[in-house]
Amino acid sequence: MIIHAWTDGASRGNPGESGIGVILKDERGGTLRSVCGYLGKATNNVAEYSALLACLKLASEQPCKMLIVHSDSELMVKQLNGLYKVKDANLKRYVQRVRERLSQASFQVTIKHVMREENREADELANRGIDTRTPLPADDLPLFRQ
């Protein structure tokens, strides 16, 4: 199955109160999973990478052959696709975690940049994570610690 995912991270203050939103959809556009979560204080870039890590974990729980991730974070997409260098030491750790997850994935992954308007649902979920302070599952917390 080909899964299309939309991910977003939100930060109010940068750094500030942060959350993630992830949506997985099947080839026909039907929602398989949608998740929001609260990170606490983080930068927007950390929130974006945290959303991607959550997305990769959720996709690994599905019968997935190919995952196409849509993100409005041009920086993250270009860093992961090798077009931009990662200079920030903290972000380098997130990039390393993402690359580890990608190397362990049993499916192909493509990460695409989309305009914010195309990522509205994931943005709403990320903001809901902040507003409701929805906790991330305890087994995922080590992934998101800075």
* pLDDT at residue number 2: 97
pTM of the model: 0.94
Question: Among 2, 124, 107, 118, which Cα is nearest to 51's?
Answer: 124
pLDDT in tens, 50-86: 999 999 999 999 999 999 999 999 999 999 999 999 9
pLDDT at 71: 98
Could you give the C-alpha distances from 49 to 19, 28, 75, in angstroms and in order? 11, 26, 10
Buried b (16+ CB within 10 A) or exposed e, 42-52: bbbbbbbbbbb
pLDDT at 144: 54
Closest to 33 in 3D by CA, of 11, 64, 12: 64
Averaged pLDDT, 36-41: 93
> Do residues 140 and 51 touch, judged by C-beta distance below 8 A?
no
What six digits make up the tokens of 57?
């974990």
Which pLDDT belongs to residue 70? 98
What domains are there in the chain, each with its CATH number?
A: 2-136 (3.30.420.10)
